[in-house]
Amino acid sequence: MIWLGLDTANAPLSAALVKDGELLVELNSAMGLNHSAGAMPAVEELFKRAGIRPAELDAIAVSEGPGSYTGVRIGVTIAKTLAWTLDKPLTGVSSLRVLASNIFTYGVTICPLIDARRGNVYAGLYRRGEDGKLECLMEDRHMALSDLLMQLKKQRNPVVFVGEGARKHEELLKEMLGELGRRAHFTQDLPRASLLITEAMQAETSAVHSFVPEYRRITEAEANWQKANGKEAE
């Protein structure tokens, strides 16, 4: 069973091929890549290095967001096109869950953070259970970072922050949470497509044609339209 995993949800890129639970090739980059130009060459490189053909794939996993709208769309478009034309199952995994899966400490609250500008973040809360599986404690959402930190402060549990968003707001996390706020190692701030595949193996597959990113935010145009037409924006 050969899996392809792809995460282009934010600036970093990760792509991997995993065969029967063993990593064949993984390409990772933290640089602000142009995914539109760079993602398919990375996928091509994976197959070349592993010496397999696209038709030998068995399943595809993709990071479905939230994150950069454009970045998420590129990964999703590539993944759903491959899945459809190769007739293979497609599984979407939260980009926040992928970041959380970098943390293997049991029982601790894990908070993956993706910066969403203007003091906002995409965040979720996760925990690795006794069985080693990642549980979701709070569904992914778009929110003000200050609100999230207030909420976590009240809970008085230690929290491990992971992801590029955590790095960006490191100062504020320390200031607000002190000893309760811990930081992952910098190598854990990047998504790993091999772990994305691990998560996908435990999740349900998605319908391919109707598969779309989890933006976790409506467009500005839609929000303005709803306001103008007297509907409550979510």
Binding stretches for other proteins (CB under 8 A): 34, 36-41, 43-44, 54-55, 69-70, 73-74, 76-82, 84-86, 208-210, 212-213, 215, 219-222, 225
The single-letter code of the amino acid at 103 is I
Residues 6+ apart with CB under 8 A from 96: 66, 112, 114, 122, 123, 124, 126, 140, 163
Residue 125: C-alpha distances to residues 77, 97, 112, 129, 152 (Å): 27, 9, 7, 13, 10
Task: Tell the smallest beta-carbon distance from residue 227 to other proteins (Å).
Answer: 13
Least distance (Å) between residue 58 CB and other proteins: 14
Which C-beta is closer to other proteins: that of 74 or that of 103? 74
The minimum distance between CB 225 and other proteins, in angstroms, equals 6
The residue (of 28 and 36) whose beta carbon lies closer to other proteins is 36
Please check whether residue 64 is in contact with residue 213, taking contact to mean a CB–CB distance below 8 angstroms: yes
**Minimum CB distance to other proteins smaller for 133 or for 231:** 231
Q: Closest distance between other proteins and the C-beta of residue 176, in Å?
A: 32
> Is the Cβ of residue 54 or residue 129 nearer to other proteins in the bound state?
54
Minimum Å distance from CB 44 to other proteins? 5
Q: Based on CB atoms, which residue is closest to other proteins, 41 or 107? A: 41
